[in-house]
Structure 1
Amino acid sequence: MTRHYFDHASTSPLRPVGRAALNEALDLTGDPGRIHSEGMACRHTVEVARQQVVDFFGARSREVIFTSGATESIAAVCFGVAQRNPGAPSVLSAMEHSAVRLNAQRHGPVKLISVDETGRVDLDQLLATFSQQPAIVHLQLGNHEVGTLQDLTPVVAACRQHNVLLHVDAAQAGGRMALDFANLGADLVSVSAHKFGGPRGVGALLIRRGLRLAPLLLGGEQERARRAGLENTPAIAGFGAVCAALTPEVLASEETLARQQTIRLATGLSALDGVTLYGHPDYRLPHLVCLGIDGVEPQAVLLGLDRLGIAAHSGSACASEGLEPSPVLEAMGVDAHRSLRLSVGWTTTDDDVEDVLEAVPQVLAELRALRP
């Protein structure tokens, strides 16, 4: 059976260029912090990759800290900010990933900002929190469940005016659309390589030049004493190679194709009875679609699709690690228990899309026929 992978928003298959760079770096045996030849060879590989990541994300060399992924980057931000401003509240939208929400709650008071039915944050409510002198504002660039893009411009301006740090979780947007750290205006940005075809277990924290936060991990002096632990040279090499391969032209082409495919999915599936498109209709990530499915449990839908060779996901109630309603969908005021998320990536073909458009109605019809 031919498989069709529609869970790129969770993790995307490793691109060949990333695999080649990772495999080549596996033969390096030195510690990048040593001055012998083996160590210097590793250091060269790490710094070449750093420059590739820098160029891709529009940052400077000293603004990129390699981490194990966006989750660690987020944890480092929340810890460092709590050390910098103990007791000060953190402001975050109700749409934030659990990595942001849980880490922020661990370190101090949190002010949650509501969103509208499309997933866009209530800017008036957010801006009003500056009277409470928050330490930081956390705001996703694009949501991981419904794909809604946030308008960062007024938030950046307000944070600068009130001298409040801004952290942007760009785990879903990075590698899917152009992201220029210098022009974004955020102080901190978290990204993961595996979300767009890089190796698992590596990511980066982009940190504005001149900003110093206490490190989450202590020990050695790696990453200019900002993240202790031996650098994962093979994964970093693969991360850099994928960034280098995604030239502006390639990235724009992939984004265009992804938008065409998700528009096709959204248009075709939202026309079905009992199926509703979630998220903003216009301001959205290029690669994912979230649909509300009336009257059918998401586990059954996912298993039915899997039986037909389609890997998909639900933001609600049926992640393998938990059985809880989606906080994102709850915040939007829609059904938090029944949803289907389809996400495309660099391996997705138009034929894959057509197969999904045939399979979903079939699965829904079969499941609804079982109801008394």
Structure 2
Amino acid sequence: MDLGVVAGEASGDLLGAHFIAALKQRHPGLRAAGIAGPRMVEAGVEAVYPSDKLAVNGYVEVLRHLPELLWIRSRITRYFLRERPRVFVGIDAPDFNFTLEAKLKQAGIPTVHFVSPSIWAWRPERIHRIRQAVSHMLVVFPFEAQIYRDAGIPVTYVGHPLADVIPLQPDTAAARMTLGLAAGPVIALLPGSRLSEVTRHARLMLDAAVRIRQRHPDAQFVLPAANAAAARLVRQAMQGLDLPLRVLDGQSHTALAACDVALVASGTATLEAALFKKPMVITYRVPALTAYLMRKKALLPWIGLPNILARDFVVPERVQEAATPENLANDALAWLDDAPRREAVIETFRAMHLSLRQDASARIAKALEPYLERA
């Protein structure tokens, strides 16, 4: 095997698919296998297990799925130790991947980790574990590289693959035509890709949408569902509501291109919204125990990637108790009613986009080249 890989969820699957495609151009016969989602499978990765098996987050949720996660990690570890890939790439999923990477590295298999965990936001002590597990770290944000240099860990800043594929100037009119949307404000609702996130955020966002429509009767709403199960949860949450809502089969980028404002669950989707230059309201809810434990370890006042990159609250964040339909609706309406503020944040996001646009897939492929050339 040339390349072993583990991607933990939909965002990791998307990130992995881009650099796998770039590697295939350089190495058409490349054999890659591991834990992968549909996009990576389409790019040519053999899926030993599907990546959605790892799509759990938070202390409480992980504990609930722990036996299955430990079983999968044990099996995939034995698989890679038997197949001995030239290099292993762990994509995100740090709690799963670092233990796996440490065992592979100890067995002489080089380990590359793509997408640093947010040690700059919370749990900075993880740098010691990373040093034991990772041969080379690939980071997507420019400020992360110095953290790893200071820790003596080989590191390459590659930029963010999404910044390469999302256009600098999104075509809003074309996206609205594709979705068959009429004139009037368009609000995108992105409750998250995990089913647990959809369960926590869908009704919250739908109730906010009802309040937005009271002020803007011509408002339309689009909600890209990550999969069929997520779409079912959304339709259940819609019961009893009268809303002009389009539940889309995926198409998150089309939804973001089409919208005026987005309500977004914290995660990679907030960065995607910023790259599409869309004013947004970031929200998130987790079980109370998870929130308590995470707050005790937090190092930054922000949770959303656009705010972290800007080092400022350029968009509002509504988390836990503040995540109410009233707050989300009021924040969205404030964006719709303030054109100069919208233009200012669009310029902030354009500068952010340029700083992250580094041809990441080519940089990743170049960083992996020395390992793939090993005898």
TM range (shorter): 0.3 to 0.5
TM-score normalised to the size of structure 1?
Answer: 0.33
Report the structure, 1 or 2, having the larger helix content.
Answer: 2
The structure showing larger relative contact order (alpha-carbon pairs under 8 Å, at least 6 residues apart) is 1
TM-score normalised to the size of structure 2?
Answer: 0.33
